[in-house]
Structure 1
Amino acid sequence: MDPKLLSLLVCPVTKGPLDYVRGQNELISRSARLAYPVRDGIPILLEGEARAVTEDEIAQLPARAPLV
């Protein structure tokens, strides 16, 4: 996923940042605990299309780079 695009996208529920998980092709909202699918390169940012994310999945995400 294009890093520039990722920096512009936010969770539609919390308006917080999203993390891209390449292996699962999903955008994860840590604050909403939801994973949004990316299909054919298009993020599907609809709450009804998202799946719930477990605490273990959140813990496995890499730390975010600090904002400058």
Structure 2
Amino acid sequence: MSDGAVPIDRRMLEALVCPLTHAPLSYDADRQELVSKAAHLAYPIRGGIPIMLESEARALE
């Protein structure tokens, strides 16, 4: 786990889906992001809280 990372509850991760596509998300512990392969976006996790806003997401290549 990277410096300053807060552990994420696995049950919470299983319940979350991409707000745009409703597809499952994968957890990237190193980058502290939830990745939507369907939407090609990575949503940040700040202080253990997923920020599920398209405007805050990082576009994936």
| TM over 0.5, shorter chain | yes
Q: Tell me the TM-score range normalised by the shorter chain.
A: 0.7 to 0.9
Q: Secondary structure at the match of 1:36?
A: strand
Task: Determine which structure has the larger helix proportion and give its number.
Answer: 1
TM-score by length of 1: 0.77
Gaps of 5+ in 2: 1-7
Gaps of 5+ in 1: 55-68
Q: Which runs of at least 4 in structure 1 moved beyond 6 Å after TM superposition?
A: none
Higher relative contact order (CA 8 A, sep 6+): 2
Give the structure with higher Rg (CA): 1
TM-score by length of 2: 0.85
Alignment coverage as a number of residue pairs: 54
